Structure 1
C-alpha cells in the first residue's frame, strides 16, 4: 500500500499534505494540527461580542504505550475537517469533519496505515457565452452546465520509533568500562574516578604508590647488606670497624 501511495504522489495523482515528526513520552499525548484557524465573532445574551477560533484542516492525536518486548501500542485519533460555507455576520461557518479512533499494537519501526476518511463532493460548473448565456429561454443554447462528483480520501501513514535513553545527560555504553561482561551484564569492578588504577593490571582498589612501595621493600629484603640505602649514611670509619669486628668473629 505504501508503494502504491508513493507511485500516486510521483504521478501527481495524489498530494502529500504533511510529513511531520513528533516526539512524545511514553503514556503522554502528542497533537499535530495542520490547517487554518478561522475567527468567528459571536454575541452573548448581554450583547457582549467575543471571538471564537474554529480550526479546520488535518489533526492527529497520538498516545503511545511502550511494551517490554519491543512493541508499541498507539491510540490514535485522526481528524480531517474542511470549510463548506464561509462564515457571515451572525452565521457560523459550516465545517465538514471526518474523524476516527483506533488502537493498534505494532513492532518498533512498523508503519501503520489509517485510511477510510473519505469525503464526497459534488461540484456544479457552468460555462456560458457572455451576455448571450443570460438571455431568457434561449440562453441555454449558449451555456453548458456540468456536475462532477469528487471523492477525496486522506490516508495517514504513521511509523513509530522507540528512541533509546542514550541522549544528553545519560551515560550510555561508551561510559561502561571494558571489564564489564556484555553477555551477562555483570561488572567485574567499577571505575572510581577518584582512585587511580594500580600498576601491573591490578584493580583500582590499590593505589599505584602502594604497589611501588611494596616492590621496593621486597627488593631490599633480598639485597645484600651493603645495598641498604641507610648504610651509605654511616661514617666511613665506623663502617670499617664494623667490618673488622665481623671478620674477627668469623
Structure 2
C-alpha cells in the first residue's frame, strides 16, 4: 500500500439466514452475517527511516444458532488494535486471538427416529466437537523505492550547480544557456558529472 494509506484484507464467509417469512405475498426476509478474518493496516514512513504501523486484526466466528427455529447465528468477535514502530524489514507478530468453537452434529435414522417413546433415544445420536485455536499474525513492512521518481539533489549536486552553472545567491542561474542544459540518459549523479564535457568551452566563451 502507499504511505499513509490504509490497506485491508478480508478472509471469510457470508452466512445467509432467514430472519422472517410469511406476511403479505409470502415474502421472506433474508439477512447476511459476515464472519472470518479481517485485517486493517495503516503504515506511515517516518523521516528517520522507521515505519509506524497501525494494525487492527479482527476474527469473528459463528458460536451457535439461536431463536425459535434455531436459525439466527450468534457471532463471537475478537478484535485487537495496536500501533508499532519498527525498522524497514523487521517483523511484527501479533497473537492472543484465542477462539473456542463448538460444533454439534445431530444424526437421525429416517422414519425410525419418529417412533414414540424410544425412537429418539435409540435412533438418534449427537456428536459434539470442540476446537480451540490461537491466531498468530506476522507482518513484515518493507519500503519500496521507486527507481523512476527522478534525481534527488544532494549537497554535492547543489555545489555543482552553484559553481559550474553560476548560480547567484538568490538561487537563480546567471547563465540562461547553462541553466537549460538537458540531461539525457543519466540515472545517477556520476552520469551527470561525466556528461558535462562541453561545459568548459561554454564557460570560456562566457568569460571572453
For the criterion TM > 0.5, the same-fold answer is yes
Give how far 1:144 is off.
8.0
- Structure 2 match to 1:119: 99
Q: Please say if 1:24 is aligned against 2:2.
A: yes
With normalisation by structure 2, the TM-score equals 0.58
1:150 aligns with 2:120: no
Unaligned runs of 5+ in 2: 166-179, 184-195
User: Structure 1: how far apart are the matches of 2:199 and 2:62?
Assistant: 73
Seen in structure 2, the aligned counterparts of structure 1 residues 35 and 121 have a Cα distance that, compared at 3 Å, is closer
Residue 56 (str. 1) matches residue 35 (str. 2): yes
Q: Which residue of 2 aligns with 1:164?
A: 145
Structure 1 residues 127 and 35: CA distance shift in structure 2, 3 A: closer
CA displacement at 1:121 relative to structure 2: 2.5
Match of 1:225 in 2: none
Q: Which has the higher contact order (CA 8 A, sep 6+)?
A: 2
**Alignment check: 8 A CA contact 2:58 2:78 kept:** yes
Q: 1:146 to 1:37 in 2, by over 3 A?
A: closer
Q: What SS is found at the alignment partner of 1:65?
A: strand
Which of the pair has more CA radius of gyration? 1
User: Are 2:48 and 1:69 aligned?
Assistant: yes
> Over the residues paired in the alignment, what is the CA RMSD in angstroms?
4.6
Checking the alignment, whether the CA contact within 8 Å between 1:77 and 1:100 is kept in structure 2 is: yes
Give how far 1:172 is off. 4.6
Task: Give TM-score, length-normalised by structure 1.
Answer: 0.49
The residue aligned with 1:81 is 60
Q: 1:188 aligns with which of 155, 160, 167?
A: 160
Q: Name the residue aligned to 2:13.
A: 36
Matching residue of 1:203:
199
Separation in 1, partners of 2:42, 2:70: 38
Q: 1:95 aligns with which of 75, 81, 86?
A: 75
CA contact (8 A) 1:192 1:204 kept: no
Q: Hey, what does 1:226 align to over in structure 2?
A: none
Q: Give the whole-Å Cα distance in 2 for the aligned partners of 1:205 and 1:51.
A: 82
More strand by percentage: 2
User: Quick one: distance in 2 between partners of 1:96 and 1:90?
Assistant: 16
Structure 1 gap ranges (5+):
1-22, 174-179, 195-199, 215-250
CA distance in 1, matches of 2:64, 2:143: 42
What is the rounded CA distance, in whole Å, between the counterparts of 2:126 and 2:14 in structure 1? 34
